[in-house]
Structure 1
Amino acid sequence: MALTTTSCAWHTLPNEMKLAVVENLDSDDARAFSRVDLRTYKICIPATFKSVKLNSLEQMQRFLDDVPRTYCQHIQELDLCTQAVNCDVEIPSYPRAGTDAIISLLIASPRLIKLVLRLAGSSDKSLITPFAYLTELKHLTITNCSDEGHSPLSERLVVSIAASIPCLQELSLDKISRSKMHAPELEGVYPYVPLVIGDDDVPAHPSLGSELSLPSLLRIPTLKKLTIRDTHLGDGRWVTTPVACRLEVLDLGSCYHENEDFNSACTERIMATVGPTIAEFSLTTSVSDTVFAKPSVTPLPRLRKLHITPFFPVDSVVDTMSNLAGSPIETLSMQCFEDDVVDVCSALEDFLSLRVERGPEFYQKLKRIDVSIAANDPSSCDDEEYEERIEATKRLQEFCRDLQLSSVVGKAQDPALIHGSSFLGPSRASGISIPDCEKFAAVANGRANFLL
């Protein structure tokens, strides 16, 4: 039987079919499609404004000025930065202007699911208020994009924000500063960790009270994934704080103000506290505590995925893996810079040799080893070095194949995997941004010629 096809004009389709088509477009395609005409633009509004990224304080203010506030109800992913780019532009009461802009956007975005805040130092305590009303928000990232020494971001403010979100599941923090109120022992003591003063006016939280130190994050019952990087983790309350959450994913970075031994001790302490529920862990520092190597007493009885970041000391790979042998690890993924490929592959071969030597009980659950490599400038590597790296990766993969392990060794596809973030790193909103919002605002006001 011959098939016949019929065609019809776009505008003759029912609205339900039009919406179904638009919902299957990504943000870029939806923006391009919306330029057909004014009627198509209106249908594309929800898809167009689903993801919004504003990279400066000026962009936030222009978005608030140019885009109808009702469009914000479609935002599900929002990425905001309060850093002022143009110092010549008059921004009254900075940084209060950044706080007010964020509050305005959050109040107008009730369907928000993912939020990234890149704050230029601490914001006003009033920033906490709207978060209690964001009932759909599940993923929060807060980063201090300023110099911590001059513009620190208070742990009290950040903890209060996170604890105010009704259904928070994933939290990522970067370069958060300790409060003098919670860490008086660090004041004036080498290595001079930056402290926040004057944040005692952050109001008591309904459930946490005035105890707004970083370890209180463990009292958020809905939290499942926690990432903390470039932050001092030396608070003793990580051990004594009652754990109300069931963390499944933990990603801890090092504090650049402290040495390797201090960071390792902090990592081990937090791992031991939340370990019983952890299934996935990202490691930046070595683990020296051999209690992790005993299956009967390991605090990580459910750990199945282990990620090792490119800043991990390569010469500690074998010892650390040995000290984590008590966990049922199935997948090991390691990131490295291109200059370290040979050393990393050699370290993993040494680990696999140890596995063979110790017999089937040692890492018996291991099924996969992957290495992700960050590309360098090709001119920095001569032919001999290039061949040496290729040979090292081949040897590792052949070794894995002999042990019936799956393995992938290749270039990192996403630069974020290397620069400041691991495989567990937070996703970034990447939708409409300035100047796009100005163009869409023009259509909303009937000035379609701005889109040509």
Structure 2
Amino acid sequence: MASWQSLPTELKLSIISILHPDDVDALAKTNQASYQACVPARFRSIKLNTFNALTRFIENVPRRYCASIETLELATHDEDLFVPTHVSLRERSDAVIALLSACPRLTSLNLRVAGSIDSSVVSPFPFLSNLKQLSISNVGSEDCTPLSERLVVAIAASCPNLQELSLDRITRSELHASDLQGVPYIPLVRGDMDVPDHPLLGSQLRLPSLLRIPTLRKLTIRDTHLGDEHWSTTPIACRLEVLDLGSCYHENEDFNRTCTERIMAAVGPTVDEFSLTTAVSNDKLFAKPSKTPLQKLRKLHITPFFPVDSVVETMSNLAGSPIETLALQCYEDDVVDVCSSLEEFLALKLERGAEFYEKLKRIDVSVTAAGYSATEEEVKERTDAAKRLQDFCRQLRLSSMIDTYGVPQRPVTSSRRASMSFVVEVGVGATKNTSTPAPTRPIGKARSMTLY
């Protein structure tokens, strides 16, 4: 009988790749040969949640192990964001460069910073040829530690095969926002001229230039000022399939709506999936199939920050698109209003006839916990609202299914909120398996190492 030690290396790696992380750890402790064989699995996914964790990782982990990293969550900020530190921006950038330059297999990077870092951080990104997913977020105060749009655009445009980009709380540069100079309530970045020009974009490192990245397929931008008018004039080189736009909390709802509609009109022809935070009021542009730029839009997501009283108006104004799935996410307090809005929308669908949303097959509603336990009365009211919506679907001879709903949830204190959902499927004969599978231990690539 063959022993573990006699197996070929390729077979060992194949076996280890399907083991539970705890089993990988146990195997790695048996002997040195097994430890080395477990390195790719143990270092496939790495989380470094502070700058101190980043420096300790660089100092203590052999550089050759970094070649196994495929997924990396990386923070350049200190554990306490509000305590002054002597670490310079260049030192933080050098640490990021040192790690990224040793990760040739990296496919996904989540970079969290507290304000800007030195522009030299751009240097390793042109060599990350396997990087497909990139997320950059500013966890600091935008008023005190802004993160320049010029830096994040330079980074994103330097990735040769970037497909998915997510940006959170990015600040406009004074160089590209002359219209905002002197506006006291809009933060701007000054002194970011040192970001080097990009071979393709040149000095135009403004947010709309992201549309010139030819490989980009998914774009998410949240908590960011989107008022740059170049969104409607920038030549588009990418074929975006998924677009997720948030709103800027420094501006009012009308301004955010205008910005969203401008970007929708620019990139609409290729978008298959879209996430909305603001209402859509332009019925002349989006309501008719012959005119709407959203000719391929099949999946529409509405976030919890969307104004509930604008659901029907927005759906009516987006009627020109072949939407098949409508997904709404709301807070517990809004469940009754959301159900009422959906009833009103379905009544409008019945009134306007078969051609109005003829492609619609499914409505999903997910409910985000409010962070406190609901009273029995509140739970009953919300459950009744969901049931009324289901009954209305039955009256319209629409197949429907509601997942378990109405059970009070434990309060949550973390930013990762608990959620529950119910589903309404539209279309005669539609079916859905709503059974919840028993939890299983993660295997294979679920492996992750976290350092704080």
Whether these two folds match at TM > 0.5 is yes
What's 1:335 paired with?
A: 329
**In structure 2, what residue type is equivalent to 1:268?**
E
Task: Describe how 1:42-441 pairs up with structure 2 within 5 A.
Answer: 42-85=36-79, 93-190=87-184, 192-290=185-283, 291-377=285-371, 379=373, 381-401=374-394, 402-405=396-399, 431-434=448-451
> In 1, are the aligned partners of 2:393 and 2:400 still within 8 Å (CA)?
yes
What's 2:429 paired with?
A: none
Q: In the TM superposition, what whole-angstrom CA distance separates every residue of 1:300-334 from its partner, at most 9, and x where no partner exists? A: 00000000000000000000000000000000011
> In 2, are the aligned partners of 1:96 and 1:123 still within 8 Å (CA)?
yes
Distance 1:335 1:403 in 2: 25
> In 2, are the aligned partners of 1:371 and 1:410 still within 8 Å (CA)?
no
TM-score by length of 2: 0.87
Q: In the TM superposition, what whole-angstrom CA distance separates every residue of 1:85-105 from its partner, at most 9, and x where no partner exists? A: 268999754232221111011
**In structure 1, what residue type is equivalent to 2:202?**
G
> In 2, are the aligned partners of 1:373 and 1:409 still within 8 Å (CA)?
no
Distance 1:250 1:89 in 2: 36
Aligned to 2:176, the other structure's residue is in SS state coil
Displacement of 1:37: 3.2
Distance 2:75 2:146 in 1: 15
- Quickly say closer, same or farther: Cα 1:123–1:429, change in 2 above 3 A: farther
What's 2:434 paired with?
A: none
Aligned to 2:175, the other structure's residue is in SS state coil
**In structure 1, what residue type is equivalent to 2:313?**
D
**In structure 2, what residue type is equivalent to 1:263?**
N
Q: In the TM superposition, what whole-angstrom CA distance separates every residue of 1:193-240 from its partner, at most 9, and x where no partner exists? A: 100000012111101011111000000011000000000000000011
> In 2, are the aligned partners of 1:314 and 1:344 still within 8 Å (CA)?
yes
Q: Which piece of structure 1 moves more, 176-185 or 7-16?
A: 7-16
**In structure 2, what residue type is equivalent to 1:161?**
I
> In 2, are the aligned partners of 1:52 and 1:429 still within 8 Å (CA)?
no
> In 2, are the aligned partners of 1:229 and 1:254 still within 8 Å (CA)?
yes
Displacement of 1:34: 2.2
What's 1:422 paired with?
A: none
Aligned to 2:137, the other structure's residue is in SS state strand
Distance 1:309 1:417 in 2: 15
Q: Which piece of structure 1 moves more, 150-159 or 337-346?
A: 337-346
Aligned to 1:195, the other structure's residue is in SS state coil
Unaligned runs of 5+ in 1: 1-6, 420-427, 436-452
**In structure 2, what residue type is equivalent to 1:10?**
W
Displacement of 1:433: 1.8
Distance 2:280 2:223 in 1: 18
Aligned to 2:56, the other structure's residue is in SS state helix
Displacement of 1:26: 5.0
Aligned to 2:248, the other structure's residue is in SS state coil
Displacement of 1:24: 1.4
Distance 1:264 1:29 in 2: 51
Distance 2:180 2:403 in 1: 43
Distance 1:227 1:417 in 2: 18
- Quickly say closer, same or farther: Cα 1:361–1:134, change in 2 above 3 A: same
Distance 1:155 1:271 in 2: 20
Aligned to 1:132, the other structure's residue is in SS state helix
**In structure 2, what residue type is equivalent to 1:136?**
N
> In 1, are the aligned partners of 2:81 and 2:114 still within 8 Å (CA)?
no
Q: In the TM superposition, what whole-angstrom CA distance separates every residue of 1:269-324 from its partner, at most 9, and x where no partner exists? A: 00000000000000000000002010100010000000000000000000000000
- Quickly say closer, same or farther: Cα 1:37–1:226, change in 2 above 3 A: same
Distance 2:201 2:372 in 1: 52
> In 2, are the aligned partners of 1:309 and 1:336 still within 8 Å (CA)?
yes
Distance 1:88 1:278 in 2: 40
Displacement of 1:32: 4.2
Distance 2:153 2:219 in 1: 12
Displacement of 1:407: 5.0
Distance 2:205 2:331 in 1: 37
Identical residues among aligned pairs (%): 59
What's 1:441 paired with?
A: none
Displacement of 1:19: 1.4
Unaligned runs of 5+ in 2: 419-444
What's 1:3 paired with?
A: none
Distance 1:193 1:89 in 2: 25
> In 2, are the aligned partners of 1:368 and 1:407 still within 8 Å (CA)?
no
Q: In the TM superposition, what whole-angstrom CA distance separates every residue of 1:243-265 from its partner, at most 9, and x where no partner exists? A: 11000000000000000000000
Aligned to 1:178, the other structure's residue is in SS state coil
Displacement of 1:171: 0.4
